[in-house]
């Protein structure tokens, strides 16, 4: 019984430190966040960080692993459905477009509707601006997977093989949704509130779908007609 209680306490301590990391690393970055501040925010002894994580670097990696795990839980099933559609040679254009629409809905919901999305996004932006030694964990574990799905989907919709241009185009499409997360402070000024309402989220989703459909239609019209072929990507989810 005592051993179970101790394990429960240790698990709680780890969780509290990861939560503190999500807040402080997101606000100040890795270098400017001290272990003392992390311990204080978590309400634990300073020695808990080296004990549970081996140091600040270990805590940071554990926090990134937590973000990747949560995000893949939220968006992973939707990405698997899209990849199944992309891998089906019999999938028609409307089926592919509906897969695209559903992926947009999922991404908007995950990025803007999740209560944890703000702190998660701050960490992800910090890694893009000032990447740490753990950047590969975030990039390979999450970003590259999402990008791979979009690349495969765009390849099928446009009927083109994998290429640098296709991968860059997929990034441009992803940007239609990402801007609403990274530019949140300015966007709240535009909508005139301190948070996005359900109506705002519905409108953003609808507009993003329209934007992506327009991009796909515009690109497709500039290409020679031919059967859609799946892009060869490494989107392993």
d(CA 235, CA 167): 12
* Cβ burial 175-203 (10 Å sphere, 16+ → b, else e): ebbbebbbebeebeeeeeeeebeeebbee
What local confidence, expressed as pLDDT, does residue 103 receive?
A: 96
What local confidence, expressed as pLDDT, does residue 232 receive?
A: 45
What local confidence, expressed as pLDDT, does residue 116 receive?
A: 76
What local confidence, expressed as pLDDT, does residue 225 receive?
A: 53
CATH T-level fold of 1-54:
Arc Repressor Mutant, subunit A (1.10.10)
What local confidence, expressed as pLDDT, does residue 135 receive?
A: 94
Residues 67-84: pLDDT tens digits? 999 999 999 999 999 999
d(CA 17, CA 178): 28
Q: Based on the number of CB atoms within 10 Å of its own CB, is 211 exposed (0-12), middle (13-18) or buried (19 or more)? A: middle
* Residue 210: C-alpha distances to residues 19, 102, 156, 157, 158 (Å): 36, 12, 18, 15, 17
Ranges of the chain whose pLDDT falls below 70: 1-8, 222-237
| 183 and 196 Cβ atoms separated by less than 8 Å | no
What local confidence, expressed as pLDDT, does residue 167 receive?
A: 96
Q: What is the DSSP code string of 27-40?
A: HHHHHH--HHHHHH
Hey, which CATH number is domain 63-221, 3.40.50.300, 1.10.357.10, 3.40.190.10, 2.40.50.100?
Answer: 1.10.357.10
Q: Show me where the domains of the chain are located.
A: 1-54, 63-221
126 Cβ contact partners less than 8 Å away, ≥ 6 residues apart: 25, 26, 29, 30
What local confidence, expressed as pLDDT, does residue 92 receive?
A: 94
d(CA 155, CA 139): 21
What local confidence, expressed as pLDDT, does residue 118 receive?
A: 79
What local confidence, expressed as pLDDT, does residue 224 receive?
A: 54
**What pTM did the predictor assign?**
0.86
What local confidence, expressed as pLDDT, does residue 222 receive?
A: 67
Give rounded-to-5 percent helix, strand, coil for the chain: 80, 0, 20
């Amino acid at each position: 019984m005592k051993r179970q209680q101790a394990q429960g306490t240790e698990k709680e301590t780890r969780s509290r430190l990861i939560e503190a990391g999500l807040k402080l690393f997101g606000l100040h970055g890795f270098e400017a966040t001290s272990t003392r501040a992390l311990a204080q925010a978590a309400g634990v002894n300073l020695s808990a960080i080296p004990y549970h994580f081996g140091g600040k670097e270990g805590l940071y990696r554990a926090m990134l692993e937590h973000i990747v795990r949560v995000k893949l839980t939220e968006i992973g099933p939707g990405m698997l459905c899209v990849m199944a559609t992309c891998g089906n040679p019999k999938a028609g254009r409307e089926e592919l477009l509906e897969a695209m629409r559903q992926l947009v809905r999922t991404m908007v919901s995950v990025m803007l509707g999740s209560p944890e999305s703000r702190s998660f996004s701050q960490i992800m932006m910090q890694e893009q601006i000032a990447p740490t030694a753990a950047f590969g964990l975030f990039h390979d574990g999450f970003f590259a997977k999402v990008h791979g799905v979009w690349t495969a989907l765009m390849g099928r919709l446009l009927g083109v093989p994998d290429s640098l241009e296709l991968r860059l185009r997929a990034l441009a499409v992803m940007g239609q949704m990402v801007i609403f997360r990274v530019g949140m402070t300015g966007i709240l000024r535009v909508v005139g509130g301190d948070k996005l309402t359900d109506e705002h989220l519905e409108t953003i989703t609808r507009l993003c779908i329209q934007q992506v459909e327009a991009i796909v239609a515009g690109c497709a019209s500039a290409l020679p007609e031919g059967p859609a072929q799946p892009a060869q990507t490494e989107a392993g989810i």
